[in-house]
Amino acid sequence: MRRGLVLALLAFAACRATLPDTKLAALDAVLAAKDDNDPRLDTAFEGLSESAKRSFRARFADYPREYFNERGTIVYVLGRNMKTPADWAFFRAVVAEPPCRSLADCAKAGEAGGPGDEVTLAYPALVALKRAQREFSTGGSMQAAARTVVREALKSEAPAVRRLAERGPGR
Amino acid sequence: MRNSLLLLAVLLAAPARAEQSELFDGTSGKKLEFPAVTFTPSPAPKDVDPRPAQTKQSGSDLFYFSPEEAAAAKKKFGVAAFRDPAGELPFDKDVPKEIQAQMLGDLAFIKTVSGSGASPLHRQIFGAVDGSVYEQFFKSRVSGVGMSRCGDGNAVACVMPFWNPTKMWLTQNYIRFSHPQVSRLMVVFHEARHTESGHGNWGHASCPTPFLGPDGKEMRSIWTGAELAGEAACDKTPLGSYGSSAIMLKNIANHCETCNGKVRQDASLYADDQLGRVTDAKAHQQMVEDFKL
């Protein structure tokens, strides 16, 4: 009886160690669908656990920097779950990323492009900054933390990030 | 028993996933892979001037055509009437299936847009904030879609009045780069405005000298670092390509009831960026009031 109980508990622990992260799987499915208007972006990622948020931040780091829309979408989803200092620290890090120099390769200067490219190049940072600015426009309770993101954005070498920080709240 | 419980405590304390660094340095082991799309740019139409008087592209910003080219195209082709928007959007045979699918998917999304309000400028240019209105606007102006390099660089699409004033040309960049969907739609609606030969194809105006941003710094091309002052990369009317696409996006941001938060936020981000290219003070102010900023 005792041995059986121990074996059962060990089996439970082993399953827990390999239990799929369902929220991360859902995120990957949304990104793979490539539908920016997917309603799941507003409904499926509410109340994320700290563990889920850590896995989302890791997924963000998995993507090469040139995956602007994917990385920005992850920032958007995390922005709906801002609760802890770690959440805001991550957003500061996103905003502080060095500017991406071209759509094809962030490390290399590129050729002329089209309307809006400047926004795309800085998209994840702009999404993070927008979330920080919303803390002020909605009278949120984490304005001190949000202000650190705005101040980081004011120092950004990406012109689109600096411009948005200049004209929005939280300076 | 005690040893078993201790072992169990250790196992249960172990995290379900390996801990990841809280912060990151922006690097990754994965290498970006581009979709394997190859294409041959569409040849010029047989009856077109093989050496059209093209404006020398400065390479500092996006592809553009001169007022003289627009006038010459109007003289040659006449003022293109708006076509019947019914029916499929014609693609040249050399447009890769992946690009056709992406464009049709993007247009299918815009067709789902629905909202109960619209600003005065939006009503003047488009009508209601409604997908069927946007579909009609696009398909009545764009007679077909072909492939071109659009002057090379990172351009996604262009209209070249001297070749065909109502045709839109796409580049492989339409699917090559990770743009938000709103960004691609902004570009094709910006270009669709350039098909209107009755309005000089809404050619761009020279950016002012100096051309300063809100931070007081000189506006420069993000790709080349060249100053945009003096370049044909601005508009002086809210009704041109920059203005009309910004007005469309801002109204989607403010009024779309079938869009999620990401799409509305993206629309606002790109609209505000485009507003910066409308440099006539009166036109700019008209748009600010129209957006109720």
Question: Tens digit of pLDDT for each residue in A112-137?
Answer: 566 778 899 999 999 999 999 999 99
Task: Evaluate whether residue B285 is within a structural domain.
Answer: yes
User: Could B180 and A39 be called an inter-chain contact, meaning their C-beta atoms sit closer than 8 Å?
Assistant: no
pLDDT the model gives residue B292: 82
Task: Evaluate whether residue B72 is within a structural domain.
Answer: yes
Name the stretches of chain A with pLDDT < 70.
1, 4, 6-20, 111-114
pLDDT the model gives residue B207: 81
A146 min Cα distance to partner chain B (Å): 17
pLDDT the model gives residue A21: 82
What are the average pLDDT values for consecutive 10-residue runs of chain B, which has 293 residues?
Answer: 56 42 41 52 53 52 65 70 75 93 94 95 97 94 90 78 87 88 92 86 81 69 60 86 95 97 97 88 93 74
Domain carrying residue A151: 21-167
pLDDT the model gives residue A17: 46
Task: Evaluate whether residue B16 is within a structural domain.
Answer: no
User: Could B157 and A13 be called an inter-chain contact, meaning their C-beta atoms sit closer than 8 Å?
Assistant: no
User: Could B179 and A120 be called an inter-chain contact, meaning their C-beta atoms sit closer than 8 Å?
Assistant: yes
Task: Dump pLDDT digits (tens) for A148-162.
Answer: 999 999 999 998 999
Task: Evaluate whether residue B43 is within a structural domain.
Answer: no
Q: Report whether A37 contacts B226 (CB < 8 A).
A: no
When CB atoms are compared, the residue of A13, A21, A119 closest to B12 is A13
pLDDT the model gives residue B39: 55
Whether ipTM > 0.85 holds is: yes
Domain carrying residue B141: 67-291
pLDDT the model gives residue B157: 87
pLDDT the model gives residue A85: 96
Task: Evaluate whether residue B57 is within a structural domain.
Answer: no
CA–CA gap between residue A32 and residue A155 (Å, rounded): 34
Show which of residues 84-103 on chain A sit within 8 Å of chain B, judged by CB atoms: 86, 89-90, 93, 97-98, 102-103
User: Could B183 and A110 be called an inter-chain contact, meaning their C-beta atoms sit closer than 8 Å?
Assistant: no
Task: Evaluate whether residue B14 is within a structural domain.
Answer: no
User: Could B26 and A98 be called an inter-chain contact, meaning their C-beta atoms sit closer than 8 Å?
Assistant: yes
Task: Evaluate whether residue B56 is within a structural domain.
Answer: no
Show which of residues 119-158 on chain B sit within 8 Å of chain A, judged by CB atoms: 151-157
Task: Evaluate whether residue A48 is within a structural domain.
Answer: yes
A56 touches chain B (CB under 8 A): no
| Cα three-residue angle B42-B46-B51, rounded to 5 degrees | 85
Task: Evaluate whether residue A42 is within a structural domain.
Answer: yes
Count of domains observed in chain A: 1
Count of domains observed in chain B: 1
Task: Evaluate whether residue B53 is within a structural domain.
Answer: no
A18 min Cα distance to partner chain B (Å): 7
pLDDT the model gives residue B148: 87
Task: Evaluate whether residue A38 is within a structural domain.
Answer: yes
pLDDT the model gives residue B77: 72
Task: Evaluate whether residue A57 is within a structural domain.
Answer: yes
